[in-house]
Structure 1
Amino acid sequence: MRQLVEIKVKPKSVKDMKNGYPLLTKEAIDTAGMTMAEGSILRLVDSNRKYIGTAYYGLQNKGIGWVLTRKEQEKIDTKFFVKKISEAVAKRKNLYETEDTTAFRVFNGEGDGIGGLIIDFYDGFYMVSWYSEGIYSFRDDIYQALSKVVTVRGLYEKLRFNTNGQYVEQDDYVSGEKGEFPLIVLENGMKYAVDLNDGAMTGIFLDQREVRKALRDHYAKGKTVLNTFSYTGAFSVAAVLGGAIKTTSVDVAKRSLPKTIEQFAVNEIDYEAQDIKVMDVFDYFRYAARHELKFDVVVLDPPSFARTKKITFSTAKDYPKLLKDTLKITNQGGIIIASTNNASFNMKKFKSFIDKAFTESNTRYKILEEHQLPEDFTVPHNYPEFNYLKVVFIKVMS
């Protein structure tokens, strides 16, 4: 039997909760003397015990739970999840019907009304990511609901939460057809190889779909392109298909070499005509500057935080320096595609990092395009802080 707990929301957080803020933080509620099990249903009330909303308790890095409904009589059961998933699928109708894109996000956590739950679509296969033990406790209801709403070719899941002090990150086949990997999916007509059963990531970051398209369609033709922190080389593929003269992909992970070769191969691109370097990106910047290498386009999409033997890097602290290093190896008139998925600062702050780097380098610039999350990565209305992706196309002037 699932625990039902009445919780008082502290006065300073009542207004936000009533206005639709979906995240439950430790600071927002009074839990003095209470013990709650993961997955407990929380009846949120104000100091007068007036109903505010219904949430579930689930510890993850963002907070301690998420609001599910503000309708007092609405039950959190299979019917509830059917409704939420149906609404999400209806929003993606155009993507389901598009023949040149067969990989996209179907359900984006709090943006679609259930924080901690992510569902992605890969050519008929569905991959569900669980971000807390609390939401995972609804697993049977959610899988039952998903099967009622869509036809599932095969189902995979990833567990990404702490349990007993240990961080769980595993993926596993759940039901239906077992995938033969790599599975080839389409993104705006480009082919990408993905594996739903190989570690934390699948081989492609779906949130960069429109950025890759922009690179292919408007910036790659006749250019030399450097793809830093390249992972499996998805941006490099887009650049070559857009007519780039040559691409250079740089990533410190050893598996980036075979994975990038694979991405080129499925698009019938001669990988030997491209450069793929397994090395620390920061070392590569020094190497490129030393050898006076310069590029027409540089893709700069670092992890939010990285630690190597030599340095510790944080986008919140070190992005301006990274941009200054990038400028040294970018041709005048060239393009820097500056990107970050760090949710701790907004687009305005990110653009201040860009301005700082160019000002300190005594270089003029022009912003050509800005991107945030694509349409399938729905974010909560009126709460842009959940729109974590920030991408700026910058032209280096002089």
Structure 2
Amino acid sequence: MSTVIELKVKQNYIKPYKNGYPLISKDTVTNSESLTKEGSIVHLVDNNKFIAKGYYGVQNKGLGWVLTDKKEEMIDYEYFKQKILTAINKRQSFYNDENTTAFRLFNGEGDGIGGLTVDYYDGYYLINWYSEGIYTFKDHVIRLLEEMGEYKAIYEKKRFDTKGKYIDDDDFVKGERGEFPIIVKENGMNYAVYLNDGAMVGIFLDQRNVRKAIRDKYAEGKNVLNTFSYTGAFSVAAALGGAEKTTNVDLAKRSKSKTIEQFSVNSIDFEQQDIMVMDVFDYFKYANRKNLKFDLVILDPPSFARSKKRTFSTSKDYPDLIKDTISITEDNGVIIASTNNATFGMDKFKGFVEKAFKEVNGTYKILEESSLPADFQVNKNFPRGNYLKVLVIQKIRK
């Protein structure tokens, strides 16, 4: 058995750890320099008195994760089996939903094992490993997925290197290699997914409820602008919800072909939609010059992005993004503003909206707000894990 490393907890973190706080970081312990080999089991201690057991695995959030408050509990196959089967049982409604065949099966610390997520795509499993530390437990996870019975294939994404980036190598693990794209269903809508093509697969599962709301409540008869549109998933929902037209704007060159594909697998005529490869902020200037206005604008920017012209950070630049959006939104039109930045909460996000409207002397109403869907389980002792914030905002006519 490998040596267990004792980490001395700082005084002000003893109570949070006893109450279930899951993240281990340099800020919470006094002797992080004793950590050398990722995957090592650690004990959090207070004056040599055991508090909790976890593992060492470096990712952007910290140094590792707490796994149990039981000193004698082994972190072995049976441990992973119990955690993952419990998560699966919570998601039976998704397995039984014929109209939705893609969902998150296991959500990191929300399901008890930080640094690990498993997504399900119509018979295919996709494992995301967020540190070398959690990757050392790979055999336990793969063995369990195999033993659960029928599946088409297992794929993986190694989202770690020395800079915390995605390691781009062969993502196939076991089973029969898929012929991509595979077409998954989400609330009856079709989406083309690639499990073998880089860090992102073509759709963000955490936005499922937002896409449904766009289709069912906000799109009918509307002229829709989808910014940072990626593969156009929101626009598919809008078009299927009866939107008059969608305009899709993203700087990535491949976004155009990907968006065309998503429209096509839903039998939507992509030639009736606008798909533009350009900087979103340049598009705002263009739209203002042309006096273009939209009934529904969707904002879902990356937390951080850099182009040749500018750097964008949601924590700093989101108010300006909303201000630009207000100028091209029709009176009584709707802005759907979203962010996955975990460094601030909903109150601060609402503050961004208030600041933007105040600076343009505008009036607004928040129609609804939402966060992660049910399959993205959250640890109540770790609010940062509930990273998604979505506001549906109506620009009020003065």
Same-fold call, TM > 0.5?
yes
Answer yes or no: is the 8 Å Cα contact 1:261–1:271 preserved in 2: yes
How many angstroms apart in 2 are the aligned matches of 1:294 and 1:347?
28
Residue 96 in 1 paired to residue 119 in 2? Answer: no
Shift of residue 185, structure 1, vs aligned partner: 0.1
1:270-281 equivalences in 2 (<5 Å):
270-281=269-280
C-alpha distance in 1 between matches for 2:86 and 2:93: 13
Q: 3-state DSSP class of the match of 1:348?
A: helix
Residues in 2 aligned to 1:110 and 1:227: alpha-carbon distance in whole angstroms: 32
Q: Give the corresponding residue for 1:325.
A: 324
Match of 1:125 in 2: 124
* Residue 161 of structure 1, CA deviation: 0.8
Q: Work out which of the residue numbers 135, 144, 169 in structure 1 matches 2:167.
A: 169
What aligned pairs does 1:43-122 form with structure 2 within 5 A after superposition?
Answer: 43-47=43-47, 49-122=48-121
How far residue 30 of structure 1 moved from its aligned partner, in angstroms, is: 2.5
For the 8 Å contact 1:79–1:145, the answer to whether it is kept is no
Give the C-alpha shift of residue 203 in structure 1.
0.1
Structure 2 CA distance for aligned equivalents of residues 382 and 37 of structure 1: 27
| Residue 4 of structure 2: aligned partner | 4
Q: Which runs of 5+ in 2 are unaligned?
A: none
Q: Using the alignment, how far apart are the partners of 2:233 and 2:250 within structure 1?
A: 12
Contact 2:5 2:34 in 1 (8 A): no
Q: Quote the residue 1:356 is aligned against.
A: 355
By how many angstroms is 1:64 displaced?
0.1
TM-score normalized with structure 1 length: 0.97
- Structure 2: which amino acid aligns with 1:26? K
Partner of 2:268: 269
Report the counterpart of residue 371 of structure 1 in structure 2.
370
Provide, for residues 296-349 of structure 1, a one-character-per-residue CA deviation record: whole Å limited to 9, x for no partner: 000011111111121111111111111110011100010000011111110000
Spell out the pairing of 1:1-398 with structure 2 (5 A cutoff): 2-31=2-31, 34-47=34-47, 49-149=48-148, 151-163=150-162, 167-170=165-168, 172-398=171-397
- Give 3-state SS (helix, strand or coil) of 1:334's partner: strand
Once the 2 structures are TM-superposed, how far is the Cα of residue 8 of structure 1 from its aligned partner?
A: 1.9
8 Å contact kept, 1:234–1:263: yes
Distance 1:230 1:32 in 2: 41
- Normalising by structure 2, report the TM-score: 0.97
The residue identity in structure 2 corresponding to 1:17 is Y
- Checking the alignment, whether the CA contact within 8 Å between 1:227 and 1:236 is kept in structure 2 is yes
Structure-2 separation of matches of 1:379 and 1:265 = 35
Q: What amino acid does structure 2 have at the position aligned with 1:56? A: Y
State percent identity of aligned pairs. Answer: 62
Choose 208-217 or 357-366, whichever is displaced more.
357-366
Answer whether contact 1:3 1:37 (CA < 8 A) is retained. no
Distance in 2 separating the partners of 1:248 and 1:186: 23
Question: Contact between 1:222 and 1:244, CA under 8 Å: does it hold in 2?
Answer: yes
CA distance in structure 1 between the aligned counterparts of 2:77 and 2:330, rounded to whole angstroms: 56
In structure 2, give the amino acid aligned to 1:204.
I
Q: Secondary structure of the residue that 1:169 maps to in structure 2? A: coil
On the 8 A contact 1:85/1:149 being kept in 2, the answer is: no
* Counterpart-to-counterpart distance in 2, 1:5 and 1:250: 50
Instruction: Give the deviation of 1:58 after TM superposition.
Output: 0.4
Q: What is the total number of aligned residue pairs between the two structures?
A: 396
Structure 1 residues 221, 33: closer, same or farther in 2, change over 3 A? Answer: closer
Amino acid at match of 2:59: Q
Q: CA RMSD in A?
A: 1.3
Q: Which whole-Å CA distance do the structure 2 matches of 1:337 and 1:253 have between them?
A: 22
